[in-house]
Amino acid sequence: MPRTKQPIDLVKASGRKHLTKAEITKRETEEVKASGDKIKPPGFLTKKKQKEEFTRISNELVDAGIMSNLDCDELGRYIITAEDFIFYSKAVEKSRRQDPIDFDALKSFEWLKSKAFSQCQSCASALGLNISSRCKLVVPKKEEPKANKFDKFGKAGTA
């Protein structure tokens, strides 16, 4: 299976691969860069609480430099599946406390809870919302201007 291509900024920041200026320019023109200027809750988030959660998480992701306009629907799906997981978790607990226990309902709620958890986990991984997916994300840092290698004290040309 071929490796996935890393963004050119990441390749330059790591310094492991030596590319010519022409190769760098070519890779920069080929890369898809999505903007982050229109991040807003998708229309399928209907509750005020869902939209507030979207805004809270999206602000964190924008600050981390890993969210663009293209990620809004994915974050919306995460919020809905997280809400579903909580709902089915409560339904399972309520079903277990009933006397007599309705095992068919309990089994259905546990299955739905499991599905919601899987979907929520998938969305969280795609967005970098859990620790293991964040460890896989590498956000290149902006390079600082290099200092003159002959200037040992940081003040070139002054005496």
For residue 142, give both structure tokens.
């902006």
CB atoms within 10 A of CB 49: 11
Residue 58: predicted pLDDT:
92
| Summary mean pLDDT of the chain | 80
Its pTM surpasses 0.75: no
- What is the spatial distance between Cα 34 and Cα 126, in angstroms, rounded to a whole number? 16
Which of 155, 139, 151 is CA-nearest to residue 7? Answer: 139
Q: Where are the domains of the chain?
A: 1-33, 39-136
Give the model confidence (pLDDT) of 101-144 as tens digits: 899 999 999 999 999 999 999 999 888 888 777 777 655 555 56
Lowest mean pLDDT among 61-65, 109-113, 116-120, 155-159: 155-159
